[in-house]
Amino acid sequence: LKGGFDELNRHKIDSRGCTNFASTFDNCVGLDGFDLTKLNTSRATNMGAMLNCNFNQNLGSWDVRNNTNFASFTSRNTTWSTENYGATLMGWLRWDSETHAPQEGWVLKSNVNFHAGNAQLVAGSEAALAREYYINTLGWSITDGGLI
């Protein structure tokens, strides 16, 4: 793409009907130049290896309620910050920090494998509580860098 991600950001990407995002940005370089929040992921069922590259964005605005596959979602060497990783986990749940639970009526799929590379969360934080909800209530298997 001539002009790179700056050029791509100027165009509206219609991803409303997309169900398979697997390997979309696999091994992509310079991904933080593209605003990933513009993607409509509401129909996605497969995001395996979607972001198997270095990136650092808050993806919490994505609707991932239909997704059943996050295997190898990010690479082991991701640069996903604690803040953006945590905001993403809380956003996907529509996490309510007062009730320490998802927004009423917002339901994600159960028993999903999610690989977040080496991304970490701060122990005792709201994001860590949300991570526990994924694991203990939804039965997700989360592979990440753990808690710090």
Mind listing the pLDDT tens digit for each residue in 42-86?
A: 999 999 888 877 788 999 999 999 999 988 888 767 778 999 999
> Are 67 and 21 contacting, i.e. CB atoms less than 8 angstroms apart?
no
d(CA 21, CA 105): 25
pLDDT confidence tier of residue 4, bands split at 50, 70 and 90: very low
pLDDT confidence tier of residue 15, bands split at 50, 70 and 90: confident
> Are 93 and 134 contacting, i.e. CB atoms less than 8 angstroms apart?
yes
pTM of the complete model: 0.86
Comparison of pLDDT for 13 and 144, the residue scoring more: 144
What pLDDT sits at residue 27? Answer: 76
d(CA 86, CA 92): 10
What pLDDT sits at residue 1? Answer: 40
